[in-house]
Homo-oligomer: A and B are copies of this chain.
Amino acid sequence: MRAEDMIMISVDDHLVEPPTMFDSHIPERFRDRAPRIVRQDDGADVWTFEGAVIPNIGLNAVAGRPKEEYGIEPTAFDEMRPGCWDINERVNDMNGGGLLASMCFPSFPGFSARLFATCADRDLALAVLRAYNDWHVDEWCGAAPGRFIPMGIPVIWDAELAADEVRRLSAKGVHSLTFTENPSTLGFPSFHSDYWDPLWRALVETDTVMSIHLGSSGKLAVTAPDAPIDVMITLQPMNICQAAADLIWSRVIKEFPTIKIALSEGGTGWIPYFLDRLDRTYDMHHLWTGQDFGGKFPSEVFREHFLTCFIADPVGIQLRHDIGLDNIAWECDYPHSDSSWPTAPEELALVAAEVPDDELNKITHENAMRWFSFDPFAHVAKADATVGALRAQAAGHDVSIHSFDHGRFERSGQGVDLATIARAATA
């Protein structure tokens, strides 16, 4: 298929929260305690909340910039492409990149909103979390109907409240909840505990997908403190296989047979090996470990429950039938450093040159629509939804790669190791 004829829905993008996000949504009594943006002496814009300081990390907002400028330093709003945080600019960038719709993960609260779990005042934490979700649904997604798959952030500290919030969001049309790869490493009961049952029940009752993003376990794939950052960047996607294995052998899958899980930014090329490994483990060991899927093999069970996705993954494309054609979605990852925006459609068209149209349509948008109960065509005519049509609409919007560097940093980049990124992340 030609790039301009594709219809592209991304199941993994990111938003940088704008400073004004809480203005219209936080109850009056908490107004002074809501998270707020502060400009530091070094020129970085950071979020502050109940004594915590959270920088916007540069590497998470590099869309449209030259690769020489990538870096981990804390950044400021005027050092980012405005599409990172401004909804109108975002839609312009989506049009310019040929992207029909997008599901946007949070930034400063963490993928599982664990920042809010650290707040001792639980009423405040819940009010802030609900304000975040209301802003996300009403303002971010609401600004452009049919252009965003709405996604809630979870009450990670309380399974009952988490279930309540899933139901509240469901009434607002939300069918995706970002969660953690591993609640155990965050200090909560694991996937093997029955603690989370109220949440699983709410997810299946509302047909809400649990979207677990790489890095949401709170544990980076760090081999050694002096390892170069390239090691972590390489390993992060495959690291999500830990969550996949954890869940597939857990009671969650067995006791909630309609639960759905998306492995976000995990890539796909490793999945066929992983499925074979699951089946071999079952075959060699279930007689003594007691695993039982009612006669099914775990690879079958995987395909009933898991959606995978990729940015551009030649191996995953080649092996798409071994993964499951209904289990693969595409992602753009705007504005993170793995994204190929604004030429992502051309990148996919090249990698998927041999894929028949009906199969590629599943990957580019149909699977995303079905898994997330999302219908953009109620708002955008199909003829206006293609890469070519959206780009025509964006004519005049500048999508050229250019610098947003204001000269604050020496960007030699040489020898960046994980101790450095840890310092930057806690600066």
Chain A residues within 8 Å of B, Cβ to Cβ: 67-71, 182, 184-185, 190-193, 221, 223-231, 233-235, 237-238, 241-243, 245-246, 248-250, 267-270, 272-274, 276-278, 280-282, 284-291, 312-316, 319, 322, 337-338, 411-417
Contact = CB atoms under 8 A, between A and B. Distances in A.
A276 B278 CA distance: 23
Nearest to A232: B245
Identify which of A224, A274, A288, A417 gathers the most chain B CB atoms within 10 Å of its CB: A288
Given A184-B225, A190-B225, A234-B245, 17 more contacts: A67-B287, A182-B223, A192-B226, A192-B417, A227-B249, A228-B291, A230-B282, A230-B291, A234-B274, A234-B278, A235-B241, A267-B277, A270-B274, A273-B316, A280-B312, A290-B412, A315-B322
Contacts of A291: 228, 230
Nearest to A71: B288
Contacts of A246: 223-224, 227, 231
B224 A285 contact: no
Contact of A245 (B223, B248, B285): B223
Contacts of A417: 192
A387 to B, nearest CB: 22
A67 B284 contact: yes
A119 to B, nearest CB: 25
A228 B235 CA distance: 24
**A-B CB proximity, top 9 nearest:** A269-B273, A190-B224, A288-B413, A184-B224, A290-B414, A223-B246, A270-B270, A230-B249, A67-B287
Contacts of A237: 277
Nearest to A66: B287
Identify which of A281, A287, A413 gathers the most chain B CB atoms within 10 Å of its CB: A281
A416 to B, nearest CB: 6
A242 B235 contact: yes
Contact of A238 (B270, B286, B314, B414): B270
Contacts of A242: 221, 223, 235
Given A193-B226, A285-B70, A315-B319, A245 B231 contact: yes
A270 to B, nearest CB: 4
A67 B272 contact: no
B228 A249 contact: yes
A282 to B, nearest CB: 8
Contacts of A277: 234, 237-238, 267, 269
A338 B276 CA distance: 13
B411 A288 contact: yes
A228 B284 CA distance: 15
A229 B290 CA distance: 10
A322 to B, nearest CB: 7
A27 to B, nearest CB: 36
12 contacts: A68-B287, A228-B250, A228-B289, A229-B289, A230-B281, A235-B242, A269-B272, A269-B276, A276-B314, A276-B315, A284-B337, A315-B322
Contacts of A71: 288
A309 B162 CA distance: 45
